[in-house]
Amino acid sequence: MPHTRTSRVVALSAICMLSPTLLAWDAHGHRTITLLALDAFAEKLKTDSAASRELAFVFEPSGRAQAAYQSGEPDRYRAIRLGQLRHENDPEHYIDVEDLEPFGLTLSTIPPLRTEYIRAMVVAKHEHPELMRPYNEKTDTARTQEFPGFLPHAAMEHYGKLISSFRQVRVLEALKDPARADQLAAARANVLYELGYLSHIIGDAAQPLHTTRHHHGWVDDNPDGFTTNRGFHAYIDTTVLGIHALSYDAMKTLPLSTITIDKNDPWKNVLEHVQRSFDQVRPLYALQKSGDLEKEPGKAFIQARLGDGAAMLAAMYAAAWQASAASEKDVKDFIMYDQVSSPTPNPMEPRPQSRPADQPAPAPAK
Ligand SMILES: [Zn+2]
């Protein structure tokens, strides 16, 4: 389940029971976002014949179908009841923006490195335990509920992995070595996996209920009388898409907005993507309250969220491709570390330094 953070037993609504998956946008929603993004990515590469050739495997029907399938993989991990996997995977599907506040953080001030983010929260909790929301570790065996979520960090980590996977395809394409056909096949499979994985995270972020503590109905103070039904999450993920027949085929001719991101460090762009979704939490609850969610305004709303997810994803695909150019050194390094049987430099002997000793080490990424 997404956000399995409240362990109290609650009666599942009839809506919930109709939707056994309960996994963010359901696989259909994640596939839709992936396919829309691949269309937009192909469009961005249209004038780059070399890229279009090297990525032909992505855009052919089988590649598209595989990437779309992979966009459901992080949710399938949730079905495995292994503490370590749940501990790592579950909180990567969301960030509850309001819950940053007791830790003295906001979306724009969270540290971009995962461990520094955790450290900041642990320090805040130690110094000001009285500010923290109640947390009971006895009912949270996988310890997934103590912190507000890691979605932005997961998005960045998988963005980096997509760059690496793209680069490896480019290295192997540059080598043009028939003996490396299996390596190229594996490298391409990795690209399809990471295209899908990143799609899942960016798609989750576009679902407003993945950015808020009100993820399964409104909690705590509720002056607007928004729904408290825990089935609301699954209703958005699945039922509403069905009501409005939202699918790739229904949306493929709609224009996506153009989002520009920093290919070297899209952290801010990822946070902006989360913020756009978070800004829609109240409007979403208001649409439910008025009954408009099942009418045209609701269709436009959900379509816009899916479209924003696809537009952001296409921008990240294109940026990752641009950042993945393989230099001659990348090719040489690959051969050197791959060919274990050939002579390799003796690491015990002094080697020329790749940067002069008087030049400072590169600053860590912001
Ligand atoms: Zn998810």
109-115: long-range contacts, CB 8 A cutoff, minimum separation 24: 110/152, 110/271, 112/152, 112/153, 112/156, 112/267, 112/365, 112/366, 113/153, 113/364, 113/365, 114/150, 114/153, 114/157
Residue 205 lies in a domain: yes
Residue 4 lies in a domain: no
What's the CA-to-centroid distance between 165 and ligand 1, angstroms? 22
Overall average pLDDT of the 205-222 stretch: 97
Query: Which residues crowd ion ligand 1, with CB under 5 Å?
Result: 24, 93, 204
Residue 70 lies in a domain: yes
Count of domains forming the chain: 1
The pLDDT, as a whole number, for residue 341 is 61
Residue 298 lies in a domain: yes
Residue 22 clears pLDDT 90, i.e. is over it: no
What's the CA-to-centroid distance between 156 and ligand 1, angstroms? 15
Ranges 12-21, 148-157, 204-213, 305-314: which has the least confidence: 12-21
What's the CA-to-centroid distance between 62 and ligand 1, angstroms? 24
What's the CA-to-centroid distance between 43 and ligand 1, angstroms? 27
Residue 146 lies in a domain: no
111 or 363, which is more confident: 111
Residue 253 lies in a domain: yes
> Which residue range is the domain that position 287 belongs to?
16-98+151-323
* CATH, residue 86: 1.10.575.10
Residue 128 lies in a domain: no
The C-alpha atoms of residue 238 and residue 198 are separated, in whole angstroms, by 20
What's the CA-to-centroid distance between 353 and ligand 1, angstroms? 44
Q: Is the pTM of this model over 0.85?
A: yes
Residue 126 lies in a domain: no
